[in-house]
Amino acid sequence: MKAAVVDRVGGIPRYQDFRDPEVGEGEVLVTVEAVAVENVDKAIVAGTHYTSGPFQAALPAIPCFDGIGRLPDGTLVGFGGVTPPYGTLAQYAAVPATHAAPIPEGIEPPVAAALSSAISAMCMRTAGGLVEGETVLIQGATGVAGRLAVKVARLLGAGRIVATGRDDDALRELTDLGVDAVINTAVDDADLIEAYREHAGDGYDVVVDYLWGRPTELLVRALTPESFAMPKPTRLVQIGESAGASLQLSADALRTSGLEIFGASRNLATGMAAAYQQIVDWVRSGELVIDVVTMPLSRIEEAWTRTDLRGKRLVIVPD
């Protein structure tokens, strides 16, 4: 079969022949229809993600671990459960039958492949407990996931949305999505702390954090009062680390700021089904538009290195 193949740590996938997957007991053969390429996929290839070990040990290997495809009977499914060296950027994938679930009617494969980013944005409710009328701060709102988080926050009834990013042009575009205020994080520390405070209004109820690192460390400083106070609680949901994998967190930041930190997977076991159905309903009705750019598998080298997507999800489709 044809596939995108990586032969070294941090390599660029190349379109070439790869041995067909063998279908084992309890597995099904899927003909791949669409695969979203996300930051986590590139981090695994680069060896910087905590789950990258099995992929790196299996090189040469095919990147990406989930996608949209068709079963032999034509049923369109979302699938995962591939085992390195096999991935989903290929013509075919053999996966456990339990890891292939039908895709709801009315959603095209490229959009279905990108649903996960929108579903993850629902962590503002499942993990952060967002209720209608509350203020949301989205850290890293100019990327694909961040823009979807803006749209999801508005659909969930957020009363006010503040967004951060490093690109002024991209930040200006967010106003069309319903953002009430923007903060450019590419300023010095004192100015960024002041900006967080200036745009907080009555306080940030929920923070959806795709950044971590320096911006979040400065946000925490901005939230920490300089006198004895009873600040409004801020529920920060940690979901990404594009600005850094760590930060310094002082004791008083938790003791006196009202800051509560949760991982994005909090309550996911009980909230995933409802979150998924809500995203599907919004997509079907047209209330939520997921912007994608499709490219054929044969052009994977060009696709992998694109930097001009401007908030659109790259989805690889068959030739």
78, pLDDT greater than 80 = yes
* Residue 284 covered by a domain: no
pLDDT in tens, 148-203: 999 999 999 999 999 999 999 999 999 988 899 999 999 999 999 999 999 999 99
- Quote the domain boundaries for residue 24: 2-114+290-317
Q: Does residue 264 share a domain with residue 122?
A: yes
| Domains identified in the chain, total number | 2
CA atoms within 13 A on the CB side of 262: 22
Which residue bears the tokens 């309903």? 281
| pTM reported for the whole predicted model | 0.91
Pairing mode, strands 67-70 and 76-79: antiparallel
The answer to whether residues 36 and 315 touch, using CB atoms and an 8 Å cutoff, is: yes
Q: Does residue 68 share a domain with residue 181?
A: no
The residue among 117 and 300 whose pLDDT is bigger is: 300
3-state secondary structure of 24: coil
Residues 6+ away with beta carbon under 8 Å from 57: 84
Structure tokens at 177: 């999505």
CA distances in angstroms from 306 to 91, 234, 294, 301, 312, listed in the order given: 22, 36, 12, 9, 11
Q: Does residue 213 share a domain with residue 253?
A: yes
Q: Does residue 212 share a domain with residue 131?
A: yes
Average pLDDT over residues 33-48: 94
Can you give the C-alpha Rg of the chain in angstroms?
A: 21
3-state secondary structure of 302: helix
- What is the pLDDT, as a whole number, of residue 255? 84
CA atoms of 202 and 183, how far apart (whole Å): 17
Positive/negative CA dihedral, 154, 262, 100, 114: positive
Q: Does residue 297 share a domain with residue 225?
A: no
CA atoms of 317 and 51, how far apart (whole Å): 25
pLDDT band per the 50, 70, 90 thresholds, residue 18: very high
